Amino acid sequence: MVVYECNLKLVNEWAAMLTLFIGLIWIGGAIVSNNVVETIQPIANTIVTAHQFELVDVEFVREGQSWYLRIYIDKPGGINIEECAMVSDELSEKLDTMDPDPIPQAYFLEVSSPGAERPLKKEADYQNAVGKYVHIGLYQKQDGKKVFEGDLKEVTPDTLTLDYLDKTRHKTVTIDRKQISQARLAVKF
């Protein structure tokens, strides 16, 4: 029978180093993602606005083993697949000719409409959503809820006012914009 002796101090030091290493990998991924978005956003915006479209959002995310550069575009009346393909072709060509390469790792480029549940990111998005049905997620509970869905009634620089249905009763809630973790248009069922 073999008995292994273990120095507990050494094990704890290795565990701490492994935790730090994993943390740095995660933080590194977030930094890579932010840097790519900051680099690509003005390039994509130039291409998109040249066609009188709106650049809604840019994401660079890792899903499983793959990276995805997602460009969301729109225009009044909606964007179609040919317009998405045109922007994808132009952006792909521009990115392929840049030196140094702004995205050194392999990635998939996706250009699409933001869809029916368009995110609300910019001030104009919130203003355009007044009178529409929205989904608001919060960092902390307010009135016992972290998620509200209802009609957006008013937008100020500091707050949103929402009319929502609580079971069968209509209620109004005013939400501090600093507490909003996510906001988007929603489909009412």
pLDDT one-digit tens code per residue, 99-116: 888 898 999 999 999 999
Q: Quote the CA–CA distance of 30 and 109 in Å, as a whole number.
A: 18
State in Å, rounded, how far the first CA of the chain is from the last one: 67
Bin 177: left if φ > 0, else alpha if -120 < ψ < 50, else beta.
alpha
At residue 112, φ and ψ (nearest 5 deg) are -155, 175
Worst-scoring range by mean pLDDT, 19-33, 50-64, 72-86? 19-33
pLDDT confidence of 92, banded at 50, 70, 90? very high
Q: What is the mean pLDDT of residues 138-148?
A: 95
| pTM beyond cutoff 0.75 | no
The single residue listed with the structure tokens 């933080």 is: 27
Q: Quote the CA–CA distance of 77 and 129 in Å, as a whole number.
A: 15
The pLDDT of residue 34 is: 76
Whether the bond into 76 is cis, omega within 30 of 0: no
Is the confidence at residue 122, as pLDDT, over 60? yes
The pLDDT of residue 189 is: 84
The single residue listed with the structure tokens 């392929």 is: 96
Q: Which two tokens stand for residue 14?
A: 């290795």
